[in-house]
Structure 1
């Protein structure tokens, strides 16, 4: 029986480039044996999540999330709770594309990202569970994370990282600390902090040194708690974060943990951000689901210390496969009338 693939794409994500490349993406996936169809998400709440769940239950072998980190999060939430889960592919088309960055998937070309899926290298990755929701890259809370809510989506699409920097600089003078109670594998933190975050990869907000020793599949979160809200100290820490030498700074708690519980103290509100979107309020329990979803990635370019499991790398066979896909895609592309592509 031929394998089936469902592409779930956000037609408004990023600069809407995905729509222009959809025919080529379909050709590439058809060329490696997937009967492929596409679904455009709608403004309806949980559109991508609901379609991902429906496709998984209908027996699709592969679901491709084409969009930004929010689209990927929705698709994962659609399949993560199922006993039988399809493989996952990613075609980044958003603003930050943190998760695609961690998996070394090309972020500037949807067609090149589709070729990563065609290459056939996959691994089983950890995902996080927060209450009854799932996340693939980061969970966070505290006043430092409020910038993610304050930047309008159209501004993020136009200016990318710059929008976060401008809004962050604007909000820093009013930064405050929140009383938090955090239980993790090795102990407990109780005190004031301006932010905590829980990372599954080394790519956070476009920076790859914030959690430099993060592994994709070891069953551990990287937990970081920023204990200061002093403007000067936060700027100093930001510089250290960029260089990756913040891990032992006394103003930061940096540990590995497979689970944690976050509670606010003194009835303060503590909003939780999951993969860049509001995910509910604390108290909340987080669990690392080790190697829960199998995902296609550019494994040849991922650092060896970021993957614990044994990965088969039959590079000669895969190279021939990719060359064949490229040839087929180009042939089919040439046969399509230019007006039809538009």
Structure 2
């Protein structure tokens, strides 16, 4: 007798103006149509609700676990599955604010039905994920430095309502407070010993919704893209941001260290606290060791790649592009004023 495949949908009912809650029945029907015996779990406000359910489902022998929500929900589900010797396949239904992971996998955003239908294409990627301190997992980015503080200081309700606009507003407010700290960073090819204002260790090419911060990042090569910003000068940082917006031209700037590595050991060289941001949440303080686990979890993705042109109709993308253009012009004005 043929064994039925089993799928467990783990969804955040409050993510994206409760859009998933309104589509659960149709998503389950779609999964059933793909031959899965499907059930659903609604996360609760209890700590690690999604993580614990993902771990339970994996140990119970489910073939597929679907994480529906924002990057935080996806991160929790990954943390439930990643430590296990036998891991189910994963799919995502992105309904959050940034959806960086969905951008990288080309999964339709803000449309649970279309995201669920992607599973039927049966296209998958063996994804790298990050591990911090040997026990905490992340799917997109580890970061440290002055500007990463904005993730903690933007209220969750503001994130939900205004998305990128909230981050950009807070980031502009924090820019004048950027400072450099001495740090020793050991990686595959050697040691960086110097002062930095920001550290990014990216797994995908989508960071904060922008796909040009780590433009050549690969999903499955076992390498982080390590970016070290070596200046704290406001005008220079604005110039670097402008180079990012201009298609990732910052990677060759002398104020940037741009490194591919599977291992990172971050050691502050002062008594100043260095908070580590893992996928947008506080992940403890440095010192910290980050490892890239190559091809660790198999994710459903659109390997044909959804056309970028097809995403330009997304109002959020249009708004961000308009802001980027305006910001670029303002930086030009600032640079001219500085020269004069």
TM bucket normalised to smaller: 0.7 to 0.9
| Conserved? CA contact 1:179–1:268, under 8 Å | no
Residue 297 of structure 2 is aligned to residue 293 of structure 1: yes
Q: How far apart are 1:50 and its partner, in Å? A: 0.5
State the structure with bigger RCO (CA 8 A, min sep 6), 1 or 2: 1
Q: How far apart are 1:302 and its partner, in Å? A: 6.9
SS of structure 2 residue aligned to 1:20: coil
Residue 62 of structure 2 is aligned to residue 60 of structure 1: yes
Equivalences for 1:145-164 in 2 at 5 Å?
Answer: 145-164=148-167
Deviations 1:132-171, CA, capped at 9 Å, x for gaps: 1011110001111101111111101110111000000111
| Whole-angstrom distance in 1 between the partners of 2:306 and 2:161 | 29
Structure 1 unaligned regions, length at least 5? 304-342
TM-score normalised according to structure 1 size: 0.87
Q: How far apart are 1:108 and its partner, in Å? A: 2.5
TM-score normalised according to structure 2 size: 0.88
The match for 2:279 among 275, 279, 287 is 275
| Whole-angstrom distance in 2 between the partners of 1:167 and 1:250 | 27
Q: Which residue of 1 aligns with 2:265?
A: 261
The match for 1:239 among 234, 238, 242 is 242
Equivalences for 1:124-143 in 2 at 5 Å?
Answer: 124-131=126-133, 132-143=135-146
Q: How far apart are 1:120 and its partner, in Å? A: 1.1
Q: Which residue of 2 aligns with 1:249?
A: 253
**Moved >4 Å (runs of 4+):** none
CA-based RMSD of the aligned residues comes to: 1.0
Q: How far apart are 1:76 and its partner, in Å? A: 0.4
SS of structure 2 residue aligned to 1:209: coil
Q: Which residue of 1 aligns with 2:33?
A: 31
Q: Which residue of 1 aligns with 2:326?
A: none
| Whole-angstrom distance in 1 between the partners of 2:25 and 2:208 | 31
| Whole-angstrom distance in 1 between the partners of 2:109 and 2:234 | 33
| Conserved? CA contact 1:13–1:94, under 8 Å | yes
Structure 2 unaligned regions, length at least 5? 308-340
Equivalences for 1:102-141 in 2 at 5 Å?
Answer: 102-131=104-133, 132-141=135-144
Residue 241 of structure 2 is aligned to residue 207 of structure 1: no
| Conserved? CA contact 2:95–2:112, under 8 Å | yes
